[in-house]
Amino acid sequence: GAGVSQTPSNKVTEKGKYVELRCDPISGHTALYWYRQSLGQGPEFLIYFQGTGAADDSGLPNDRFFAVRPEGSVSTLKIQRTERGDSAVYLCASSFRQGTSNEQFFGPGTRLTVL
Amino acid sequence: QQQVKQSPQSLIVQKGGISIINCAYENTAFDYFPWYQQFPGKGPALLIAIRPDVSEKKEGRFTISFNKSAKQFSLHIMDSQPGDSATYFCAARSTDKLIFGTGTRLQVFP
């Protein structure tokens, strides 16, 4: 079966623009996570969905960042008024919650460059 | 308290040698400790994981040693191979989200 897919793989934008990053989780996975990975760093948690609702959005850096998952499957991470500091790889992961098994499967990421 | 500290930052090992990466944490509420392997341009992939009620877990050439009282855990890669060259991240889970270490870049030379 297909893994987690993310589109686009690369996105170059100008400071101040709006961007949307898409994540298609593994079919049947109810939990979906967004992380941000800066160069030379480990992934940093942004937000977690269980079904359609955001169960934990404590990692979103500010109100320019917003994510949705309207039908409990595909998710979109939206960034308004992008800043150069937003440049990073945005990773999406999904998991199938069943008891204590909660392995997170990561997609390849979207590399966002803000000029 | 939510940090996971990882060392070393980089590691060079000869083929057939043992690679050892260490991590330490503070939050005793962490309930799951995975190790991820990441190749350039790819997302992290789960390598092996352990729960805090177990002191050691082995899968093939990969072993996690876990010391709950010291709040430390480590990854041992036996018989390291050039194909193991990648960046390794330890992580700890807190209420479903993963807190990652800063990564160790492993290079295995033939």
- Do the Cβ atoms of B96 and A42 come within 8 Å? no
Nearest C-alpha in B relative to A106? B43
Q: Among B14, B6, B1, which Cα is nearest to B85's?
A: B14
Whether a cis peptide bond, with omega within 30° of 0, leads into B52 is no
Give the torsion through C-alpha atoms of B47, B96, B98, A100, to 10 deg. Answer: -20
CA–CA separation, A43 and A63 (whole Å): 20
CA–CA separation, A30 and A49 (whole Å): 8
Nearest C-alpha in A relative to B33? A103
pLDDT, position B94: 85
Q: What is the largest CA-CA distance in chain B?
A: 41
Nearest C-alpha in B relative to A93? B43
Residue type, A63: D
- Do the Cβ atoms of B98 and A4 come within 8 Å? no
Structure-token match 């760093």, residue found: A41
Q: Are A58 and A44 in contact (CB under 8 A)?
A: no
| A55 in B contact zone (CB under 8 Å) | yes
Q: Among B16, B1, B9, which Cα is nearest to B109's?
A: B16
Structural domains of chain B ordered from first start: 1-54+95-110 (2.60.40.10)
Task: Residue B36: list chain A partners with CB under 8 A.
Answer: 106
Task: Residue A38: list chain B partners with CB under 8 A.
Answer: none
The pLDDT tens digits along chain A (115 residues) read: 589 999 999 999 999 999 999 999 999 899 999 999 999 899 999 999 998 999 999 999 999 999 999 999 999 999 999 999 999 999 999 998 744 557 899 999 999 999 9
The 10s digit of each residue's pLDDT in B40-98 is: 999 999 999 999 999 999 999 999 999 999 999 999 999 999 999 999 999 999 888 89
Structural domains of chain A ordered from first start: 5-101 (2.60.40.10)
CA–CA separation, A106 and A25 (whole Å): 9
3-state secondary structure (DSSP) of residue A25: coil
